[in-house]
Structure formats: structure tokens, C-alpha cells
Amino acid sequence: MGFRTISSEFADAAQPEYPGAVTVMLFCEHLKNERRLSRYTIRNYEEALRDFSLWAKSMFGFGGDFARLTRRQLRDFIIERQRGNAALSRRTLHNRVSALRTFFRWLRRRKELENSPLTGIVLPKLSKSLPKFLTEKQTGELLAMPRQAFEDGLISEAQYLRDSAALEVLYGGGLRISELCGLTLGAVDFAAGTLRVLGKGGKTRVVPVGEVALEALEKLRVFLGETSRNAPLFHGNAGKPLSPGTLQKWLKKYLALAGLPMDITPHKLRHSCATHMLDHEADLRTVQEQLGHANLSTTQIYTHVTLARLKSAYKKAHPRA
């Protein structure tokens, strides 16, 4: 795959070139072909590296030779990205620096870099905020919105069936947005009530999704009359596979119709799935498998959510709280 081809897939087509872009695009090839990361993850990596390269060019005339970077320059980048009106959040900053660390490790394995210029640099600590989620009542209200919008004449039947099935699968399966958008008809086992999901790092897992989600998927399949197992399960504009951006736009529409908080994202439906499973006495290992977490420690954050809710309920209800 050549530079222009990769660029059109992962970079801004209007301005694909910046210092070191060719090396970055080779790195993107590595992420795609060897690490098998999703195109959305690769896009984020490329965006982080492009941001750094353009900043470095403006600050000290960086020409694309990553081997000449110094720790002081990387430290200055991190400091600058925390200042001014365009300052990055700490989470975004950590993600950007994580992309740089991965890139520098790749360069070292290729013998193009002796030492990482990020060695010894300490980032500001992240606040330990708990995942946001919908209550079971709120979730039910949101999932009812596509049908309500159809009955009110706001959307077509095709949109209603697609959106209803997508939301049910996001919540019922605890899927990441990229996993949902990548589903094909062949990924659904209607007899077993499961989905075969392609997750992070190209890892496949099989997850149950529940009768309500399966019924919504069956209605969508019958309506579309689709038979090809390789056909996208969800379609966006002009018949193309559903994109995360499209899904996020119509999710906002349903949140507004339901009168729910507008900061709810598709990923928070995944948080809701995990939280509600634990509320109903699922064990951590089960939730870990459902969500496709590589480490149990990632899943344990949800125990803090349920414990926080328990403490809150206790303070309100117990006479000696």
C-alpha cells in the first residue's frame, strides 16, 4: 500500500503531508497489517503524530528526522499542549503521548532510533473518575425512542429498524462502537443468540446479546432482505457501512427526544451494560469476557461504580448512616 493510499484512509486528504509523514504512514501500515488495530484507532494514532510533527515544525523547524528529537523538545510539547484556549484535556494528552511512545518503540525495533526521547518524562496524573452510565430506567427510555420517532413520523421504517437494532446490540452486547460498525450478517448466530465480534488487536470473541436484541436484528434482516453473510449489518449514508460519526449523530437525536443527558455517548451504553450486569450479580470474569477486556483490572472499575451506588443508597436509607 503506497503513501497516498494510506493517507486517504487515515489522514486528512486535503493536507496529508507533514514532516515525517512517510515514516508515520509506514507505522500505520504496521498497526493495520501486523497489530490489526481498527481503522479508527489507527486514525487516532496518525492524528497524534501529525499534531506533534506540525507543532515541532513550527517550534524548532523539525524536518522529519525523529532520531534527532530530544527529551527537552518532547517535554516542551507536553507543557505547551496544556496551555491556552486550545489546551488538551489530561485524558487526551495521555492518549497523544501514548501514541508517541508506541511510535518510538516501533522506530527502536527498526533500529531507526537509539533511545526514546520520552524516557523519564512524567505526565500529569489522571483523575480517577468513574464511568458514566444510564440507569436501567433511562436505558429503557432511550431504547424505546426509535420506535416512538417512527410512530410520530419523524423517521422512516428503515431508520427505525436499523437504529433500534443498533442500540439494542450496543447495550445488549456491551460492544465498542467500532465493533458494532464492523458487524456483518454472518456475525449473528440467531439460533445460539450470539454475535461473533472482532475486537481490539484483531481478537475475536463470541458474546450473547439477549432476546430483545436478536428480535430487533431479525426484523432488520427480514426488512432488508439481505442474504449475503459478508454484507454490513448496519448501513449509514448511501448504503455504506455505518460509521461511528453517523451513529453518534442520531444517538444525540434520540437523547434529546427522551429528555436524557446529552453527554451520553455510544461507549456509555457499554458502561451501562457492564454496570447493570454487576447489579444483577454477574461476576467480574463474566463481564470481562462480555466486554473483551484483556485484563481483569480494566473491568474492576465497574465494581467501584456499583459500590458507590450502594454507599449512596445506604446513606439515604439507613437510619444510622
- Helix, strand or coil, per DSSP, at residue 232: strand
Within this chain, do residues 143 and 7 fall inside the same structural domain, yes or no?
Answer: no
Within this chain, do residues 312 and 179 fall inside the same structural domain, yes or no?
Answer: yes
Q: What percent of the chain has pLDDT over 70?
A: 90
Q: Is the pLDDT of residue 308 over 80?
A: no
- Mean pLDDT for 49-61 is 95
> In which band, very low, low, confident or very high, does the pLDDT at 128 lie, cut at 50, 70 and 90?
low
Q: Is the pLDDT of residue 25 over 50?
A: yes
User: Considering the domain boundaries, does residue 19 fall inside one?
Assistant: yes
Within this chain, do residues 86 and 206 fall inside the same structural domain, yes or no?
Answer: no
Nearest to 23 by CA among 98, 96, 104, 79: 104
Instruction: Indicate if 205 belongs to the active site.
Output: no
Under 8 Å between Cβ of 66 and 104: yes
User: Considering the domain boundaries, does residue 130 fall inside one?
Assistant: no
Instruction: Indicate if 302 belongs to the active site.
Output: yes
Within this chain, do residues 97 and 186 fall inside the same structural domain, yes or no?
Answer: no
Within this chain, do residues 305 and 195 fall inside the same structural domain, yes or no?
Answer: yes
What are the two backbone dihedrals, phi and then psi, of residue 123, each rounded to the nearest 5 degrees?
-90, 155
Catalytically annotated residue among 71, 75, 132, 200: 200
User: Considering the domain boundaries, does residue 128 fall inside one?
Assistant: no
Crossing angle of helices 157-173 and 244-258, rounded to 10°: 100
**Burial (CB count <10 Å: 0-12, 13-18, 19+), residue 191:** exposed
Instruction: Output the nine-digit C-alpha cell for 262.
Output: 446529552
Range of the domain at 58: 3-109
Q: What is the mean pLDDT of the chain?
A: 86
> In which band, very low, low, confident or very high, does the pLDDT at 227 lie, cut at 50, 70 and 90?
confident
- Mean pLDDT for 215-232 is 88
Within this chain, do residues 66 and 168 fall inside the same structural domain, yes or no?
Answer: no
User: Considering the domain boundaries, does residue 18 fall inside one?
Assistant: yes
Instruction: Output the nine-digit C-alpha cell for 253.
Output: 437525536
Instruction: Indicate if 200 belongs to the active site.
Output: yes
Instruction: Indicate if 267 belongs to the active site.
Output: yes
Instruction: Indicate if 293 belongs to the active site.
Output: yes
List CB contacts of 157: < 8 A, sequence separation 6 or more. Answer: 150, 223
* Structural domain count, the chain: 2
Catalytically annotated residue among 162, 176, 221, 268: 176
Within this chain, do residues 190 and 246 fall inside the same structural domain, yes or no?
Answer: yes
Within this chain, do residues 163 and 282 fall inside the same structural domain, yes or no?
Answer: yes
Instruction: Indicate if 253 belongs to the active site.
Output: no
The last residue of a domain, from among 109, 127, 157: 109
- Mean pLDDT for 273-287 is 87
Within this chain, do residues 212 and 272 fall inside the same structural domain, yes or no?
Answer: yes
Within this chain, do residues 218 and 104 fall inside the same structural domain, yes or no?
Answer: no
User: Considering the domain boundaries, does residue 55 fall inside one?
Assistant: yes
Within this chain, do residues 61 and 170 fall inside the same structural domain, yes or no?
Answer: no
The reported pTM is 0.65
User: Considering the domain boundaries, does residue 230 fall inside one?
Assistant: yes
Within this chain, do residues 161 and 100 fall inside the same structural domain, yes or no?
Answer: no
Q: Is the pLDDT of residue 318 over 80?
A: no
User: Considering the domain boundaries, does residue 121 fall inside one?
Assistant: no
Catalytically annotated residue among 57, 235, 252, 267: 267
> In which band, very low, low, confident or very high, does the pLDDT at 258 lie, cut at 50, 70 and 90?
very high
The last residue of a domain, from among 91, 109, 127: 109
Q: Is the pLDDT of residue 3 over 70?
A: no
Catalytically annotated residue among 18, 160, 171, 302: 302
The last residue of a domain, from among 59, 91, 109: 109
